[in-house]
Structure 1
């Protein structure tokens, strides 16, 4: 790690070390023994001569801090080490190297129903799980009505857990974990198995805890969850901490990384550049085509950066082909300030692809639509591909290609991110 980064991390650790809700991870690593044969394992136990195994590292040299009340998301491809990291942090697995320091009461929801006995009822498992979280039996009995109400599984609470679906197990496990507000809440991807209603209910409770000062460490493949709940994101890759930063920046980089590996052309590069407003723009792709110019036009054809709610606009994109492209598709995605997608489409979905584009040829695309978005700051991401996805031929993917602001200048006040003005009919009898 760079000396300045080490010094910065040390100062951050010193500042938060004694505060409830702080997490300090230093040089964390996990390796498993690998034996060439089963006899080598036996020989190591009973014969002199030292170890007969090698080490397979699944996590190496991970260091970061989480301040009290901060929400941090952990993302990465399958096998990147996310779940192992959480197990090391919560103490369910011992590290090979490094250390973890946490201050305050911790509630963790890792492997689904971990610690649940299949032959005991949901209610009995609630008592056992609550004790593992440090709650006294009297406290658990006092909290039981609240747990039952949140889990909302009815008479199944008194049925053996072996008859539960995975979603029901998750409901009970999460309800126990959040029965008392913890200083630190650690959640693996278990929430992804629940039904949509319970996921919304769970994330609403997480947001309430955050407002009350709970520290959150969240592993999820859900881009919207990471960007809407978290202040910061960590990207794990191959067992190492590849990058950390604002959720939108990290998710953009992660998506570009996935596209690069899916394409496997050997020419892919992920490029980062800082914009004038301090954001980091991610660009990836082979570079065989590029967005040469992008602008938002009003109804008179003049470039604008501020648009009234509902006003007609045209997104004009000029694409330059640097090589011959058999089939060229242009897509765009409008995102809010947190990077949440508002609307996206492409010329493949609209059945307007360009065939046999020659090297050096330019194409001017115009997308005209009413700006039915709520007040706020938005960005446009562009993608030049060959089909409906950038995972086949990614010629260029560019986040933050354009930034604009929507203001409400003429409409009645409304809440939300979309202008969906209703016609209202009221009948009184």
Structure 2
């Protein structure tokens, strides 16, 4: 558990970069030439605010994700934490040692062997000589390169190089660990091994700041998320809530034809997460992705054999219900998709029907119920997302524009085993085999 004392505190921090017209101007300013001139003769360069009035604190042991589009200010913020940049205004308080995994491969040479690169990189990072031998042995054991360690780095495959660089970068055990998009080093096996190494830092109480475009990685490692956009702090809160709001924002950009990679987009992000939420007819607040006009989900339900619940035991049937309401009258051909996610953002189940054909008048509702066969899920918390798609007359989805509605992580439930640690995960493929005008039941596929 994080303790109350802050490991890191930003107070009204801003970082402004001058925009030089030529490299010569940058060099003259870097060497202080302009400061020798009288104030009236100093050139005035246009400037860019990479960060503007950022304030937050991180407690010791917290795991905080930093998300945002390219150009949002994420890397600038991390470089301020590591003292690579000085703030233009505001103050930064750090308590403890800081180590950055923002750039693997620093201090590596293609002409040197893997073993030589290990020593050179550790020396570059100023590792004390007293710790060098222990750390070198640990790196060699972790990267599992065998005889390749004594071959030049230029002979390594991309995956082998990633293994070595990641092992060296994570050899130091700091109080505050900064990670920027490097958790995918090597193959699938090594990716899992890297993730386990990161969890080891957490278990030892290290404070972590992680930047990643992978929302699954953020959910897996972080309890809290800070969302930046164009240098300002948009949202700071529980990981899933902030990520849901961020993904809805990106979908809105997409529907407007605005690239999420364009940091100059003038579509403003929300001031609060509530601005990204929609209230359903049953009073539930959800994160709704934009979709085409037609039908929208209006209520949700989750039951076992005894009735509404948010707790299930292995072997129980899962009954998931939704109702849709027509925004305009007409004939509809729909496919309903229900997706189960772990709290770490991994999809573990997908339930969908065949094709539902019906007619609704404007404002009229239709109820659908999915009933799965006995599901056995490992203990833990799960989230349920709902989608409604328009399907053309040939029975195939017409693409992104065919989506009527998506509610991300709209319900959650917990699996509570009857006892013991021998619970496990089974993924059941399901599909609809029969329809009733107001009650669709999903059974196990043959």
Q: What is the alpha-carbon distance in structure 1 between the residues aligned to residue 190 and residue 17 of structure 2? A: 37
Which residue does 2:92 correspond to in 1?
A: 100
Q: What is the alpha-carbon distance in structure 2 between the residues aligned to residue 281 and residue 224 of structure 1? A: 20
Match of 2:238 among 246, 252, 268: 246
CA-CA distance at 1:37 after TM superposition: 6.6
Specify whether residues 186 and 73 from structure 1 end up closer, same or farther in structure 2 by C-alpha distance, changes over 3 A only: same
Match of 2:413 among 404, 408, 411: 404
Equivalent residues, number: 395
8 A contact 1:112–1:169 mirrored in 2: no
Specify whether residues 43 and 133 from structure 1 end up closer, same or farther in structure 2 by C-alpha distance, changes over 3 A only: closer
Residue 58 (str. 1) matches residue 58 (str. 2): no
Structure 1: state its 5+ residue gaps.
Answer: 1-11, 421-429
CA-CA distance at 1:89 after TM superposition: 1.7
Which residue does 2:384 correspond to in 1?
A: 380
8 A contact 1:385–1:395 mirrored in 2: yes
Residue 323 (str. 1) matches residue 332 (str. 2): no
CA deviations 1:136-161 (Å, max 9, x no partner) are 23421332121111112223323333
- TM-score, normalised on structure 2? 0.75
Q: What is the alpha-carbon distance in structure 2 between the residues aligned to residue 209 and residue 60 of structure 1? A: 31
Kindly report which structure 2 residues correspond to 1:339-418, keeping only aligned pairs within 5 A, or say none.
340-346=346-352, 350=354, 352=355, 359-370=362-373, 371-386=375-390, 392=401, 395-408=404-417, 414-418=422-426
Specify whether residues 43 and 209 from structure 1 end up closer, same or farther in structure 2 by C-alpha distance, changes over 3 A only: closer
SS at match of 1:112: coil
Kindly report which structure 2 residues correspond to 1:266-305, keeping only aligned pairs within 5 A, or say none.
271-272=276-277, 281-285=286-290, 288=293, 289-298=295-304, 302-305=307-310
8 A contact 1:150–1:175 mirrored in 2: yes
Structure 2: state its 5+ residue gaps.
Answer: 258-266, 392-396, 429-446
CA-CA distance at 1:63 after TM superposition: 2.2
* Cα RMSD, aligned residues only: 3.8
Q: What is the alpha-carbon distance in structure 1 between the residues aligned to residue 146 and residue 279 of structure 2? A: 53
CA deviations 1:184-242 (Å, max 9, x no partner) are 22111022242211111111122122112111111122223222221211112222221
Residue 173 (str. 1) matches residue 173 (str. 2): no
Residue 30 (str. 1) matches residue 33 (str. 2): no
- TM-score, normalised on structure 1? 0.78
Which residue does 2:200 correspond to in 1?
A: 208
SS at match of 2:194: helix
Residue 335 (str. 1) matches residue 341 (str. 2): yes
Specify whether residues 41 and 112 from structure 1 end up closer, same or farther in structure 2 by C-alpha distance, changes over 3 A only: closer
CA-CA distance at 1:249 after TM superposition: 1.1
8 A contact 1:28–1:95 mirrored in 2: yes
8 A contact 1:75–1:236 mirrored in 2: yes
